[in-house]
Amino acid sequence: MRHARLIAVAGTTACLLLTGLGFSSTAGAQSPTIQISNAWARRAATAHGGTATGSMDKGGMGKTDSSANGAVYATIGNTGKEQDALLSASSDAAQTVELHETKDEAGVMRMRPVPKIAVAAGGKIEMKPGGYHVMLLGLKRDLKPGDKVEVRLKFERGGEVHVHAPVK
Amino acid sequence: MRNCHRGGSVAALALVLVLASLASGADFKGGLLTPPKAAPDFALTTQDGKDFRLSRERGKVVALSFGYTFCPDVCPTILAELAEARTRLGADAKRFHTVFITVDPERDTPAQLRKYVSAFDRSFTALTGPPGRLTEVQKAYGVVAEKRVVAGTSASYLIDHSAFVYVIDPAGQLRLVFPFGMSIEDMVHDFKLLLQR
């Protein structure tokens, strides 16, 4: 019972965290059927420079370091009458962008690429830590709290949606 | 496959521990190890190239997590939560230490680790070392880490790994195991409880 409560509390906390930051998809492109809400990106440091919390980098190699990665999360709502799917994503902030899902198998986290993320007609899907995420591989710059990351999401039916995800 | 199965059992055991204590009505929110045992000691190298030995951390609560810097999802989530927890500890923060141990010594050099944890909290220590020694530490804590070459990604490999946070009290006893997704509020509650005793 305590465990159920723990999960509920964790879920509530995640929701509060998400809603507390008040994001919008101030978009360059919108879709009539796809609604993106609660978009955010996890902060990350590349070798290029420090972060808002202070840099520990002293060397600053000045080269592209493909080993710094990031993640973008959002809730995708589909108000259409047919199932839709997120097919791919792109961003100028990273060399490569992929769709990934982490699965928790008895405490072991297994992260895998997924070909698409389906969103049922009239339904929604929440990308969140430990689940679906847009993975940014090879960050070109630091993702610092207060910054925004632009991500273009391409849907099977809904077309392309631009999202500006605040970094936290 | 056999590896996978064995990994599952270890993780399942850890989960049973967590569930058992959650059901027992203990004061703690995380999974309580009863009786507590001395936290297995280890000596590794920090992100600044310095020697680190766990047994020198007496007097502090240590939150120990395992992961790798290529990981954009689970590992940063845990580190961000521990950074927030430390902030909420206020004056107690100086007796709290987050230690992150890589499961990917191949890619995680000290410089790479330094860069990675700098995004979260300057007080964090990130550790690497010879692969054999890291494997010993994983075994001592029941951590599963399995390297996977996966199709459909530009990543050359990924590492499946357990995502528990191991909490060591100021006397050096391994006391608690936090499951992934535990709230920051509950983490802070448990850290404070350990710091009071």
B128-160 tens-digit pLDDT = 999 999 999 999 999 999 999 999 999 999 999
Query: CA nearest B71 in A: which residue?
Result: A69
- ipTM given for this complex: 0.86
Query: What's the predicted TM-score (pTM) here?
Result: 0.83
- Cβ–Cβ gap B118/A105 under 8 Å: no
| pLDDT tens for each residue of A101-115 | 999 999 999 999 999
Q: Where are the domains of chain A?
A: 23-52+60-166
Average pLDDT, chain A: 81
> Rounded mean pLDDT of B55-72?
97
Q: Which A positions 97-136 lie with beta carbon below 8 A of chain B?
A: 98, 100, 102, 104-113, 115, 129-130, 133, 135-136
- Cβ–Cβ gap B182/A45 under 8 Å: no
Which of A72, A89, A76 shows the shortest CA–CA distance to A124? Answer: A76
CATH number for region A23-52+60-166: 2.60.40.1890
Contacts of B107 in chain A (CB under 8 A): 67
Q: How confident is the model at residue B14 (pLDDT cuts 50, 70, 90)?
A: low
> Which residue segments constitute the domains of chain B, with CATH numbers given?
2-196 (3.40.30.10)
Query: CA nearest A61 in B: which residue?
Result: B111
Alpha helices, H only, chain A: 2-20
What HEC string does chain B produce? CHHHHHHHHHHHHHHHHHHHHHHCCCCCCCEEEEEEEECCCCEEEECCCCEEEHHHHCCCEEEEEEECCCCCCHHHHHHHHHHHHHHHCHHHHHHEEEEEEECCCCCCCHHHHHHHHHCCCCCCEEEECCHHHHHHHHHHHCCCEEEECCCCCCCCCEEEEECCEEEECCCCEEEEEECCCCCHHHHHHHHHHHHHC
Q: Evaluate if residue B104 carries a pLDDT over 80.
A: yes
For residues B48 and B158, give the distance between their C-alpha atoms in angstroms, rounded to a whole number. Answer: 25
In chain A, what are the helix, strand and coil shares in percent, each to the nearest 5? 10, 45, 45
Judged by a CB distance cut-off of 8 A, whether residue A43 touches chain B is yes
| pLDDT tens for each residue of A130-145 | 999 999 999 999 999 9
